[in-house]
């Protein structure tokens, strides 16, 4: 078999790799022409008779540079991939890498706070996306495997690649795809020294609607690359700072979690828990640092050490009101239905319903850090043999503190014993994806200091740390004269990962009434501010915004209590507590560690041959992966103690014979129900892959790829934290009848075990075919691709309701003790001075669990992309160009949701059937402008309300604009608008009539300068 010009093909691949390392995009920083070619190609192009065999010389400037370089990298890649590059640190204009990646075909983003944070690839959510930095696996502050790309400043990233088809040498883990980020390699910089400064001011045009919100922010970055000692030592340094306001005005609907026959037809309808209206504001500060030292004392050896660190701090407040409709116990008048779900009506408080309007002043603080360190040695031992060794560490830390302050309306806040105003009526009507109509009987009191009182404070921190240490060895042997293979690669990798999370809590007061034992706080003028709604929300009643620190200092003059990890005095198994009080055992049971050890090895042959007269390149290989995953857990080993004479249960205690231990919490409470244990699972997988590239003509090629892929469960879902909770019930004595009235006749037992170290990965067989046409007369390309993923299994969450807790080995009470108060919340006592109480029976509720579902299904789709620079146009219009892509994705996999009441099917999270991205740009002399549009149709994703909810999101169109002007060779100016049309985020529960969220984030306007030297 004849080998087809291997040197030329190898040169093209080397040119592509060199381009990937050095990058070259957004020449608003430089007027220099960019040549994408290698030295060997230039030499061959000048040899007699070889001009027709050399790769074409592409000379472009400005934004077109990024497009052409990305196309060249894609063209000569050995996998199905998409590429982004920058011509120096600070070249990418995007706020984060998430924004940058969404310009690529098949890539879309989920906006958090109005900005892209998580990316979706080919209709699959971030949980299915694997990410590396400089070829090394990255842990995440998200507590899962989904990388939060807004943690990575685009100014510190030189290039990025999205691998849609894997190869054996790539680290496993991406069912949807793998994202590779690269920082600078200073010895590959084409200049001896480069220095760049980027400074931009920013303004959010909605911040003025939110009291105390910041309107202005800034972005600042510095970067340097230099070569020393006869180009044997390279240094790269970078710093990027982002300070921006975080602003939104929003409506949030809550899940449908109750039923009631509201129209007296004999069938029960579904009721929403309620809804929220909020002003959100705050500040986000991100500081990123990058450094690299590269040493190449000889041509055959390179040693590189690099480090990346990013600190992202967010301090955010949310103010407004949270409406709790009261569930089945509320009195409902004039109900309006959508099928069997209530979407409007009047809800009146009853003695059992706890219908209310809470004035909320939430204070959320989120402090995140990511760090990545690595040392890489690359040695060409002989002309044919290359060895590489890499050691790395990736660390992520997150400290999220969710502080909540509730206020309710009382009858008279100046009374000696203030009484809660229980005369509450709430009317509302949802309007689908538009804001609802609402009415409150207490609306005039929302700004009245003589009525509003602070009734509860709660703080619920969530801290997690994730650390991964990895070691990797790779060997490549090049063949001098082989008709089929250009080289063969072997490698091995070992990683050791430890994830930990800690929960804690402090609560004081009541969010549903006035507590006598923990009385409400009387507000004063210096603690509050009257807040009005503006714009689309101006029809809502004003409310009191409460200064959190002032209120807490007045409520707790001896010092604000701090959250602790504690069983709680009312937790079963506590042996040294008062016998009554809250049960916060979840803080102990949901705290723990996950350990993951992965050993992998691969062999891969790189193909460079000719088949039926067509040049063929690519690779074929297999990767073996052995995974051991473990989780700490506290297992309940309590047993009933039976009176031998009566046969009655006289107590329940932990059994030491089964490993029960005395476990002390941070508050000093001791529980003897549990034994510490470590649960472990171990499994091995073999992942074959093949990538083939057929060169049809000098400008056309056809790709085929097939592989078995896996994606492990999110790291936090490997933590075994099965929990069982008993619902709280309130009791008071009716002053007219003397009867004791219960808020609910029974206490519902519910449980969850959606996390387990025995969860196996998602598995899929995937296939890709793509056709690529590169234009010859102008710069650009047309690419068409189809893909098919056969999902073998995925993690499915389901709920059994009712669930037999006792029959399945859970220790749960048959009844609970409820303390009785009067109608004002004052405690009542028996004749002997003890607290009056009643026994309330328990009732089995739902138990939610997760398993690896054997039944998978397909995900399939098609992608089209078109890029062209219209250089054939006359004069000033020759700088006009366009880059556009369209993706279609469909899947037969459906999940079930009951958030809207009835069980309905949802698509996989992150899947939009249609995604469109387009950029029109124009460059003329020193001026450049472009308009970018990203549209995706409806999809499913997470919405954070009172609890995390997976809901349906409406389609959205995000438009960005940018213009720049180079004043001289070194200095440039930039103007940029993100979210040009102030596109909101809107979601719903299965049906558009059942509103989920309506959020407006405002436009971000940037004005700045760039300086390069």
Asked whether residue 90 carries a pLDDT value surpassing 70, the answer given is no
Domain boundaries, position 76:
63-188
pLDDT band with cut points at 50, 70 and 90 for residue 88: very low
Output the pLDDT for position 912: 86
pLDDT band with cut points at 50, 70 and 90 for residue 726: confident
Output the pLDDT for position 117: 67
pLDDT digits (tens, 9 = 90+) for 4-30: 333 333 333 333 333 333 333 333 333
User: Distance between CA atoms of 547 and 386, rounded to whole angstroms?
Assistant: 63
Residue 398 domain-assigned? no
Residue 461 domain-assigned? no
pLDDT digits (tens, 9 = 90+) for 282-317: 899 999 999 999 999 999 999 999 999 999 999 988
* CATH number, domain containing residue 84: 2.170.130.10
Output the pLDDT for position 13: 35
Residue 942 domain-assigned? no
User: Distance between CA atoms of 952 and 433, rounded to whole angstroms?
Assistant: 11
Mapping DSSP onto H, E and C, the string for 43-87 reads HHHHCCCCCCCCCCCCEECCHHHHHHHHHHHHHCCCCCEEEEECC
Tell which wins on pLDDT, 796 or 633.
Answer: 633
Q: 67 vs 24, 39, 85, 305, 727, CA distance in Å?
A: 9, 22, 9, 30, 58
Residue 938 domain-assigned? no
Q: What is the mean pLDDT of residues 904-926?
A: 85
Output the pLDDT for position 19: 34
Answer for the pair 330, 556: CB distance below 8 angstroms, yes or no: no
Asked whether residue 952 carries a pLDDT value surpassing 90, the answer given is no
Residue 824 domain-assigned? no
Which residues in 384-422 are b (16+ Cβ under 10 Å) and which e? eebebebebbbbbbbbbbebbbbbbbbbebeeeebebbb
Answer for the pair 100, 92: CB distance below 8 angstroms, yes or no: yes
Dihedral, 72, 74, 77, 82 alpha carbons, nearest 10 = 150
* SS3 category, 189: coil
User: Distance between CA atoms of 109 and 201, rounded to whole angstroms?
Assistant: 25
Residue 912 domain-assigned? no
449 Cβ partners below 8 Å, 6+ apart? 413, 523, 524, 525, 528, 544
Quick one: what percent of the chain has pLDDT higher than 70?
A: 89
Output the pLDDT for position 329: 87
User: Distance between CA atoms of 331 and 348, rounded to whole angstroms?
Assistant: 5
pLDDT band with cut points at 50, 70 and 90 for residue 944: low
Answer for the pair 609, 655: CB distance below 8 angstroms, yes or no: no
pLDDT band with cut points at 50, 70 and 90 for residue 42: very low
Output the pLDDT for position 854: 59
Output the pLDDT for position 126: 77
Strand pairing class (747-753; 837-853): parallel
pLDDT digits (tens, 9 = 90+) for 466-501: 999 999 999 999 999 888 999 999 999 999 999 999
* SS3 category, 718: helix
Quick one: what percent of the chain has pLDDT higher than 90?
A: 45
Domain count, the chain: 1
Residue 454 domain-assigned? no
pLDDT digits (tens, 9 = 90+) for 406-434: 999 999 999 988 889 989 999 999 999 99
Average pLDDT across the chain, whole number: 84
Residue 73 domain-assigned? yes
Q: 401 vs 246, 464, 512, 562, 585, CA distance in Å?
A: 17, 12, 23, 11, 19
Output the pLDDT for position 47: 38
């Amino acid at each position: 078999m004849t080998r087809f010009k291997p040197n030329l093909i190898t040169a093209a691949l080397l040119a592509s790799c060199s381009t990937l390392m050095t990058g070259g995009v957004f020449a608003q920083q430089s007027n220099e022409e960019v040549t994408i070619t290698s030295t060997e190609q230039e030499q061959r192009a000048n040899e007699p008779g070889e001009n027709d065999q050399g790769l074409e010389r592409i000379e472009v400037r400005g934004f077109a540079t990024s497009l052409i370089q990305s196309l060249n990298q894609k063209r000569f890649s050995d996998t199905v991939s998409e590429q982004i590059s920058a011509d120096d640190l600070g070249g990418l204009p995007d706020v984060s890498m998430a924004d940058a990646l969404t310009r690529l075909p098949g890539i879309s983003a989920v906006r958090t706070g109005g900005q892209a944070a998580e990316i979706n690839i080919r209709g699959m959510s971030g949980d299915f996306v694997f990410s590396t930095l400089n070829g090394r696996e990255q842990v995440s502050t998200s507590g899962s495997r989904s990388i939060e790309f807004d943690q990575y400043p685009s100014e510190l990233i030189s290039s990025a690649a999205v691998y849609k088809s894997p190869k054996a040498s790539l680290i496993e883990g991406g069912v949807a795809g793998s994202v590779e980020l690269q920082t600078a390699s200073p010895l590959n910089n084409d200049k001896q020294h480069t220095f760049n400064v980027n400074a931009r001011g920013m303004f959010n045009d909605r911040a003025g609607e939110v009291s105390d919100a910041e309107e202005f922010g800034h972005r600042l970055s510095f970067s340097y690359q230099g070569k020393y000692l006869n180009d044997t030592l390279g240094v790269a340094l970078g710093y990027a700072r982002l300070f921006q306001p975080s602003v939104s005005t929003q409506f949030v609907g809550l899940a449908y979690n109750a039923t009631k026959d509201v129209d007296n037809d004999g069938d029960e309808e579904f009721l929403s828990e309620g809804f929220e209206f909020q002003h959100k504001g705050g500040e986000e500060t991100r500081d990123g640092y990058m450094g690299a030292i590269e040493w190449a004392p000889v041509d055959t050896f390179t040693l590189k050490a690099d480090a990346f660190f990013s600190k992202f701090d967010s301090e955010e407040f949310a103010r407004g009101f949270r409406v709790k409709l009261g569930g089945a116990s509320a009195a409902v008048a004039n109900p309006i239905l959508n099928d069997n779900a209530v979407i409007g009506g009047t809800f009146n408080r009853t003695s059992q319903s706890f219908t209310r309007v809470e004035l909320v002043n939430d204070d959320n603080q989120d402090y995140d850090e990511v760090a990545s360190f690595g040392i890489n040695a690359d040695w060409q031992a002989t002309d044919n043999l290359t060895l590489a060794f890499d050691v790395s560490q990736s660390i992520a830390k997150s400290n999220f503190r969710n502080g909540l302050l509730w206020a309710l309306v009382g009858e008279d806040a100046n009374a000696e014993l203030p009484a809660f105003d229980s005369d509450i009526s709430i009317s509302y009507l949802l309007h689908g994806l538009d804001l609802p109509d609402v009415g409150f009987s207490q609306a005039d009191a929302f700004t009245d200091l003589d009525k509003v009182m602070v009734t509860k404070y709660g703080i619920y921190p969530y801290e997690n740390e994730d650390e991964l240490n990895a070691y990797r060895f790779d060997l490549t042997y090049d063949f001098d004269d082989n008709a089929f293979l250009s080289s063969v690669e072997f490698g091995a990798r070992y990683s050791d990962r430890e994830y930990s999370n800690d929960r804690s809590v402090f609560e004081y007061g009541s969010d549903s009434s006035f507590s006598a034992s923990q009385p409400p706080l009387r507000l004063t003028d210096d603690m509050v501010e009257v807040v009005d709604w503006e714009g689309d929300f101006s029809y809502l009643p004003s409310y009191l915004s409460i200064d959190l620190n002032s209120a807490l200092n007045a409520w707790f003059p001896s010092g604000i209590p701090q959250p602790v990890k504690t069983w709680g005095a009312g937790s079963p198994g506590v042996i040294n507590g008062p016998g009554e009080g809250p049960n916060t055992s979840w803080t102990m049971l949901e705290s723990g560690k996950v350990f993951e050890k992965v050993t992998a090895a691969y062999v891969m042959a790189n193909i460079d041959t000719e088949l039926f007269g067509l040049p063929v390149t690519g690779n074929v290989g297999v990767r073996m992966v052995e995974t051991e995953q473990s989780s700490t857990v506290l297992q309940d080993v309590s047993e009933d103690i039976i009176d031998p004479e009566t046969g009655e249960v006289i107590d329940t205690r932990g059994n030491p014979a089964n490993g029960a231990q005395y476990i002390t919490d941070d508050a000093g409470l001791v529980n003897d129900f549990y034994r510490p244990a470590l649960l472990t699972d171990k499994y091995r997988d073999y992942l074959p892959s093949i990538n083939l590239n057929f060169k049809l003509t000098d400008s056309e090629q056809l790709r085929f790829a097939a592989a078995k892929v896996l994606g492990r469960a999110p790291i936090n879902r490997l933590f075994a934290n099965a929990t069982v909770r008993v619902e709280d019930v309130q009791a008071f004595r009716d002053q007219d009848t003397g009867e004791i009235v219960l808020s609910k006749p029974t206490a519902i037992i519910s449980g969850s075990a959606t996390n387990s170290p025995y969860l196996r990965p998602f598995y899929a067989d995937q296939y890709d075919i793509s056709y690529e046409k590169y234009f010859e007369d102008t710069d650009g390309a047309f690419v068409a691709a189809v893909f098919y993923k056969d999902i073998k299994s995925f993690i499915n969450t389901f709920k059994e309701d009712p669930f037999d807790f006792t029959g399945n080995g859970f220790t749960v009470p048959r009844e609970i003790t409820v303390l009785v108060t009067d109608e004002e919340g004052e405690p009542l006592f028996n004749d002997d001075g003890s607290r009056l109480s009643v026994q309330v029976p328990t009732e089995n509720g739902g138990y939610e669990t997760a398993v690896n579902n054997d039944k998978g299904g397909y995900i399939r789709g098609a992608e089209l992309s078109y890029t062209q620079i219209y250089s054939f146009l006359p004069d000033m219009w020759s700088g006009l160009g366009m880059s556009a892509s369209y993706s279609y994705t469909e899947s037969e996999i459906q999940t079930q949701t009951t958030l809207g009441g009835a069980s309905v099917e949802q698509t996989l999270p992150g899947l939009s059937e249609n995604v469109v991205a387009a950029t029109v740009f124009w460059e003329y002399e020193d001026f450049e402008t472009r308009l970018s549009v990203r549209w995706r149709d409806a999809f499913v994703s997470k919405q954070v309300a009172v609890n995390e909810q997976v809901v349906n999101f409406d389609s959205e169109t995000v438009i960005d604009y940018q213009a720049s002007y180079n004043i001289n060779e070194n200095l440039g100016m930039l103007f940029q608008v993100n979210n040009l049309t102030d596109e909101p985020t809107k979601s719903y529960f299965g049906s558009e009539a059942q509103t989920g969220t309506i959020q407006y984030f405002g436009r971000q306007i940037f004005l700045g300068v760039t300086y390069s030297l």
